[in-house]
């Protein structure tokens, strides 16, 4: 048996049902035409950093507004979900963003000062 590590729901990177849930796992082709791709590619992100916001939640200060991925520019219309996780000594902030047609998961590593695109959801 493989040991499982229980992670709070706010830090889970998967959109599949939580272990023990009665919901069934739906494969991407069954999701009304939605396709999901897991990635790990560096991406150039333009973000706004504002000094206002709650000090307990540093990710409230950082907002991606545009990114360039595979030589194409995407303008962020909406930030739908934000969470933080700790990987070793680095804090990584995850942003689920939409350009109006697709949903992307962008990650910012505060120690390495780099951005990664880690997921794309499209119809």
> Quick one: tokens of 74?
């995407």
Task: State the residue for tokens 């599949």.
Answer: 16
Question: Using CA atoms, how far apart are residues 121 and 102, in angstroms rounded to an integer?
Answer: 6
Per-residue pLDDT reduced to its tens digit, 75-97: 999 999 999 999 999 999 999 99
Q: Which residue has the tokens 């796992």?
A: 25
Q: Which residues neighbour 94 within 8 Å (Cβ) at sequence distance 6 or greater?
A: 13, 81, 82, 83, 84, 85, 105, 106, 107, 108, 118
- Written as six digits, the tokens of 31 are 């999701």
pTM value surpassing 0.75: no
Span 18-27, average pLDDT: 38
């Amino acid at each position: 048996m493989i040991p499982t590590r229980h992670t709070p729901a706010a830090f889970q990177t998967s959109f599949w049902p939580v272990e023990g849930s009665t919901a069934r796992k739906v494969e991407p082709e069954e999701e009304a035409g939605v396709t999901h791709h897991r990635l790990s590619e560096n991406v150039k992100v333009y973000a706004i950093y504002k000094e206002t916001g709650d000090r307990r939640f540093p990710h409230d200060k950082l907002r991606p507004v545009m990114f360039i991925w595979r030589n194409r520019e995407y303008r962020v219309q909406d930030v739908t979900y934000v969470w933080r996780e700790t990987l070793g000594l680095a804090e990584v902030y995850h942003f689920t963003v939409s350009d109006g047609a697709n949903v992307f998961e962008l990650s910012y590593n505060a120690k390495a000062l780099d951005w990664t695109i880690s997921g794309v959801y499209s119809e």
